[in-house]
Structure 1
Amino acid sequence: MTKPNTRLIFHIGDPKTGSSSIQRVLFSSGWTSPSRTLAYPDRISAVPMAKSLYPDARAKRRRNLFTASAEWLTMQSADVSVLSAEHFAFVAPAKLRSVTRRFMPDHADDMGIIAYARPHMGRLVSSFSQAVKIRGFQGSFEDFCQGAVTSRRFHYAPRFAEWQATFDARFTLRPLVGSRLHRQDVVADFLHTVLETDDFEITADTRQNESPSVAQLACLRFVQSRLQGTATPDPARKAICASLSVRLQAAADTPGQRLKMPASVLAPMQQAYGEDAAALDKRFFDGTPFSDALQDAARNTTDAHQSLAMADHFSPAQITELGRITDGIIAELDADPIGWQRHHRDVKSGISDSEDEDQAFVARVAGLLDGICTTLA
């Protein structure tokens, strides 16, 4: 093995911790530094690489993707080179270690792993919004919380302990707590951590993928419910609603009422996550940021009913028109089940005017999505 010209860093998420903002700034070179350099690939995330490590992934695809990244690394001379995808968070750490040792042997023993974790109560709220927006979850917030506790999805300590046991001091976990972040910003904190300097400026907007308002969630849930009752494939349904969410937020004059944790579920959730918060604090952090966040969560709860029923936010005429437009989207997706999915993927990857894209189809669907925004304005 030879000493590489650049140090490899894997950014592995976690989900709902500002990964989209970090990726967008790095992909667009939206930062500057007179003293340090960072290389980033020509696609916005390394999701295919991460998914190639899943148990059901094909070995040939894994080999091709890691070989291509290894070749890319040989051409880099920046201080650090970053590969980023939230999907790495749910890969077995030992699997990533063994694959990098095989395909990137010059980097495997020195590469760094960085992850962020969001305090439990904030993660529940943001993940519920995401479940409604993308997966079409139709249950209540209380249902979602109970399911999360039962599945232990947000019990962080065991999963991050496995990453630390595998990579030792090369694994870094950062708390997504404003007072703990460099410049109180996750993008600035990431750059400060991987560049090991404060000698940089961020020139791009760091706000990406913000949570929708309660009224926007009601709209998204309505559209999801209509799509779920059709032959629309799940990937197409998710891509449509992800695109609609972005458009709704861009079209809104004001942010609108944001979802908060219902006060009725606070105590049970504090009890459910108390041990996990304490374990994280003890193993990874100076002080007790996760336990403190759990105890302070009452500040961000509400006793008010946060309805996701369309009738509580929009007029009968608006609801009727929304149904009509959604039926138009369904008809388009029936004719081309994967066209919008591909378009959405390309947009997220920073690809514009793809030659494989049916421009007329994209224009029609985009017009329908914009029509929803106009109807609900």
Structure 2
Amino acid sequence: MVGEIVFHLGDCKTGTTSIQRTLAAGKVTSAGRSVIYSTRSHHIPLASTLNRAAEAKFADKRFSDLAQKLQRSSADTAIVSAETFEFVDPRKLEQMIDRHLAPWKGKMRFISYVRPHADRMVSGFAERTKQGWHTGSMDDLADRFDKKGLLHFAPRFQRWRDTFGEAHSVRPMVRSLLRDGDVVNDFLHFVFEGESFSYEPVPVANESLTLSDLAALRRMHGVLERRAGSAAAVQAARRTFGWNLAILLSDLPKPEDAGKPRLHEALAHRLIETYREDAETVDRAFLGFEPGTGPLSKALHDAPARAVPAPQPIAAEAYFEPAALRMIDGTAELFARMLHDQPELMAKAMRVPGPGAVSAPSRPQNKGKGKPGPGRTPGARRAARLKGGPAGRKAQPASAAGRLARRLPKGLRRKLSPLRRYLP
């Protein structure tokens, strides 16, 4: 079995995608230590069982599956990475460790990266806007963050420290303080504890969006919310839509005068008043800096100097002519139809494969033993229908009942399918 487990806990917007893609590509090597990364992307489904009620029923299964993979491996270090551990109660993770990962108790390390408050506010606004979680202003989001305590980092880190002691480390997501200015290098230095290592960097799309990008996405999500419905599958497809459209937009040339989302001065001063004490506590208690000299305190102090004088407009009308708005609305209406009718299929089709990505295995078509016989494969069945079937039955034009059946929900369509032969 593996020798130890390193849990990479996030936070969100701290280079987690770069770390995960590098690990998933399998290009990390060290002469003195071997590693295993047991997923093709990330361990968010594992973390979700601990912070999402709908996923809780899968917790034992997913942690048991992880334990079995680690038992079978002879690697020195296993890495588990999910930025959504940020939203997990560490005591719940401790319970799963006791239940499924007990052989590695005392052989675990945990690391969180923390982004300064002002930067996290701006990146959080862009992230939630592109995925349709937030359609208001940055001030509105600041109210929500404050109410939920999402940017009060010190209490959360203290809960992890209380649960796992000195095994939990915190690193600042500040380029000048990262090893070689790179979060992947910094993280791997933590994993290998100073031993030499090498890795091949994996290109990661720069997902920074312009103000006009965000305004267009905000308007499109408004149409999708009104027209596509609120089913869980539709909501998930909307997030996939926003996420992957942002990646595509990031790869396209940007106008020279394109602006990026920024704090305005009044909000920057408000953040200072709200989070000054939290920044000082994180700097002192978790990063080891003297009061007032740490990276979070400095970044918060400098926020007004980097802010714009007034709030930036968020309405699409501020960036697009009527003809462009018409095209945005029409495109969103078309996507709304497709998301409403086939949300799972659309979500799958919209995903942008990353470097080294592996396609998900298709569902086995042969439910019996052995190979499918002649004419039993899905392709053969479709061909047979077009040619009139194995018995030479000629294809019939679609009846009114058939046309109606195709418009029914898939579940009801399957239930009625045995009766279609008796319908006129």
TM tier, smaller: 0.7 to 0.9
Aligned partners of 2:179, 2:74: CA distance in 1, in Å? 26
Instruction: Kindly provide the amino acid, as one letter, of the partner of residue 331 in structure 2.
Output: I
Count of residues in Structure 1 that have an aligned counterpart in Structure 2? 354
Give the corresponding residue for 1:214: 211
Report deviation, 1:344: 5.3
Q: TM-score scaled by structure 2?
A: 0.78
Give the corresponding residue for 2:48: 51
Q: Is the Cα–Cα contact under 8 Å of residues 136 and 221 in structure 1 kept in the other structure?
A: no
Deviations 1:11-51 (A, max 9, x none): 11111111111111110124443443221113211111111
Give the corresponding residue for 2:376: none
Q: 3-state DSSP class of the match of 2:314?
A: coil
Report deviation, 1:353: 6.4
Task: Identify if the C-alpha distance between structure 1 residues 345 and 317 changes in structure 2 by more than 3 Å, giving closer, same or farther.
Answer: closer
Give the corresponding residue for 1:266: 268
Aligned partners of 2:160, 2:60: CA distance in 1, in Å? 23
Q: 3-state DSSP class of the match of 1:9?
A: strand
Give the corresponding residue for 1:276: 278
Give the corresponding residue for 1:178: 175
Q: 3-state DSSP class of the match of 2:238?
A: helix
Aligned partners of 1:13, 1:144: CA distance in 2, in Å? 21
Structure 1 residue corresponding to 2:62, chosen from 45, 49, 65: 65
Which runs of 4 or more aligned residues in structure 1 lie more than 6 Å from their structure 2 counterparts after TM superposition? none
2:244 paired with 1:243: yes
Report deviation, 1:253: 4.5
Aligned partners of 2:57, 2:206: CA distance in 1, in Å? 33
Give the corresponding residue for 1:191: 188
Task: Identify if the C-alpha distance between structure 1 residues 310 and 345 changes in structure 2 by more than 3 Å, giving closer, same or farther.
Answer: closer
Report deviation, 1:97: 1.3
Aligned partners of 2:205, 2:104: CA distance in 1, in Å? 31
Instruction: Kindly provide the amino acid, as one letter, of the partner of residue 185 in structure 2.
Output: A
Give the corresponding residue for 1:285: 287
Aligned partners of 1:55, 1:228: CA distance in 2, in Å? 22
1:297-308 alignment, distance < 5 Å: 297-303=303-309, 306-308=312-314
2:21 paired with 1:21: no
Give the corresponding residue for 1:371: none
Instruction: Kindly provide the amino acid, as one letter, of the partner of residue 259 in structure 2.
Output: Q
Larger RCO, structure (CA 8 Å, separation 6 or more): 1
Task: Identify if the C-alpha distance between structure 1 residues 161 and 26 changes in structure 2 by more than 3 Å, giving closer, same or farther.
Answer: same
Aligned partners of 1:158, 1:177: CA distance in 2, in Å? 21
Report deviation, 1:315: 2.7
Report deviation, 1:220: 0.7
Aligned partners of 2:27, 2:262: CA distance in 1, in Å? 32
Give the corresponding residue for 1:366: none
Aligned partners of 1:330, 1:336: CA distance in 2, in Å? 10
Q: 3-state DSSP class of the match of 1:52?
A: helix
Aligned partners of 2:349, 2:165: CA distance in 1, in Å? 40
Aligned partners of 1:330, 1:124: CA distance in 2, in Å? 29
Instruction: Kindly provide the amino acid, as one letter, of the partner of residue 244 in structure 1.
Output: L
Q: Is the Cα–Cα contact under 8 Å of residues 205 and 251 in structure 2 kept in the other structure?
A: no
Give the corresponding residue for 2:8: 11
> Can you give the 5+ residue segments of structure 1 that lack an aligned partner in the other structure?
357-377
Structure 1 residue corresponding to 2:200, chosen from 198, 203, 206: 203
My pick for the range that moved more, 53-62 or 162-171, is: 53-62
RMSD of aligned residue pairs (Cα, Å): 2.4
Q: Is the Cα–Cα contact under 8 Å of residues 110 and 169 in structure 2 kept in the other structure?
A: yes
Q: 3-state DSSP class of the match of 2:26?
A: coil
Deviations 1:257-278 (A, max 9, x none): 2211111211111010001111
Aligned partners of 2:306, 2:27: CA distance in 1, in Å? 32
Instruction: Kindly provide the amino acid, as one letter, of the partner of residue 278 in structure 2.
Output: D
Aligned partners of 1:191, 1:156: CA distance in 2, in Å? 23
Instruction: Kindly provide the amino acid, as one letter, of the partner of residue 241 in structure 1.
Output: G
Task: Identify if the C-alpha distance between structure 1 residues 345 and 105 changes in structure 2 by more than 3 Å, giving closer, same or farther.
Answer: farther
Structure 2 residue corresponding to 1:329, chosen from 313, 335, 338: 335
Deviations 1:247-299 (A, max 9, x none): 11112346842211111211111010001111111211122221111112234
2:154 paired with 1:151: no
Task: Identify if the C-alpha distance between structure 1 residues 112 and 208 changes in structure 2 by more than 3 Å, giving closer, same or farther.
Answer: farther
Deviations 1:153-197 (A, max 9, x none): 110111110101111111111111112111111111100111112
Task: Identify if the C-alpha distance between structure 1 residues 231 and 321 changes in structure 2 by more than 3 Å, giving closer, same or farther.
Answer: closer
Report deviation, 1:346: 8.9
Aligned partners of 1:269, 1:320: CA distance in 2, in Å? 37
Aligned partners of 2:39, 2:56: CA distance in 1, in Å? 23
Q: Is the Cα–Cα contact under 8 Å of residues 160 and 168 in structure 2 kept in the other structure?
A: yes
Instruction: Kindly provide the amino acid, as one letter, of the partner of residue 266 in structure 1.
Output: A
Give the corresponding residue for 1:161: 158
